Amino acid sequence: MRNLEEKLKNQARYDALFRRLAQAMGVLVILLVIGVFFTLVKESWPAIKAFGLRFLWTTTWDPINLEFGALPFLVGTLITSFLALAMATPFALAGAIFLGELAPPKVANPVSFVIELLAGIPSVIYGLWALFYLVPLVRYFQMKIGAPPYGLGLFTASLVLAIMILPYAMSVARDVIRLVPQDLKEAAYSLGATRWETIRHVVLPYARSGILAGIVLALGRALGETMAVTMVIGNRSAMPHSIWDLANTMASVIANEFTEATEDVHLAALVEIGLLLFIITVVVNLIARLVIIKTRVR
C-alpha cells in the first residue's frame, strides 16, 4: 500500500513536469513568431524611416539612386498567386472528386500517393523543369499569339506555381470529400439522385469548408514560394503591365538582391518587403480561419 502511494506521488510529479514542458514549448512557438516579427521591423527600420508609407504605393525600385517603392513586387506576388490559384483550383477540385468519390480504391490509392510525392519535390527542381520545358512552351505560345516572346515572366511563374500548389489543394480536398458520411450519400441515392447530383448537392456542400481551407493553404504556399518563381519570372523590378511581362515577386526580389545589397537602405528595403510578406501571410491565414469557421457544417 505504501508502495502504491509513493508511486502515485511520483506519477503526479511527472505529470506536472510534463505539463510544464508542454506549456513551455507552446510559449516558445509564440515567442519565435514575435521574435521574427521584431527582427524584421528592427532590420527594416532605416527603410521605414526613409520612405514611410510611400514604400507601399510607389513603383520606383532604384538601388543606384537609393529610391525604393515596393508596389511592383506586391502586384507581382498577388498576380502570380491568384492566377496560379485560378488555374489550379478547377483541376484540384475535379481530381479530388475523382479520387475521393469516383475512383475505385485500386486506382485512387496509388494516384493519391503520387500526388503526395509531387508535394514533396523540392521547388528548385520545379524551377529547373519549368526553365527547360515550360519556358520554351510558353515562348512558342507567345509567338503564335503575337505577344513578346520572352518565355519567362508573370504567366510562366503563375503556371509553375499552379502546378506546385495543385497537390496541396487536391489532397486536402480529397481528404475532406472522403470524410463525408456514407449515410448522407445513401440518403441522396435512396431519393433517386444520380452520382453527380449526390456529389453536387450533398458531398460538395458538406465538404465546402475543408475544400476552401485547402485552397487558402495553397494560396499561402503560392505567396511565399521563392526558388521556382525566381528562376522563371524574369527578375525585372518594374511595374508589370501585362501577364507576359518580366517581373518580380516579393520573395523573388529578396532572393535576387539580398547578396548584392551593399547599401544599408537597400538591405533595409529588402527586409521591409520581407516584413510585408510576413504580414500578408498572417492575414491570409486569419482569413482562412474565418472562412472555415463561417462555412463549417453544423
Instruction: State the residues that interact with other proteins by CB under 8 A.
Output: 104-105, 181, 183-184, 186-194, 197-198, 201-202, 205-206, 208, 297-298
Give the DSSP H/E element, type plus range, for residue 68. strand 67-68
At 84 the three-state DSSP class reads helix
**Smallest distance, Å, CB 206 to other proteins?**
6
Task: Please say which residue, 19 or 195, places its beta carbon nearer to other proteins.
Answer: 195
**Smallest distance, Å, CB 175 to other proteins?**
18
What residues have CB less than 8 Å from 226, skipping those under 6 apart?
123, 251, 252, 254, 255
Buried/exposed 9-40: b ≥16 CB within 10 Å, e otherwise:
eeeeeeeeeeeeeeeeeeeeeeeeeeeeeeeb
Task: Please say which residue, 116 or 186, places its beta carbon nearer to other proteins.
Answer: 186
| Cell matching residue 257 | 538582391
**Smallest distance, Å, CB 246 to other proteins?**
46
Task: Please say which residue, 8 or 187, places its beta carbon nearer to other proteins.
Answer: 187
**Smallest distance, Å, CB 203 to other proteins?**
10
**Smallest distance, Å, CB 106 to other proteins?**
10
- Beta partners for residue 62, in sequence order: 67
Provide the terminal-to-terminal Cα distance of the chain, rounded to the nearest Å. 50
| Cell matching residue 239 | 511595374
Task: Please say which residue, 164 or 202, places its beta carbon nearer to other proteins.
Answer: 202
Task: Please say which residue, 65 or 190, places its beta carbon nearer to other proteins.
Answer: 190
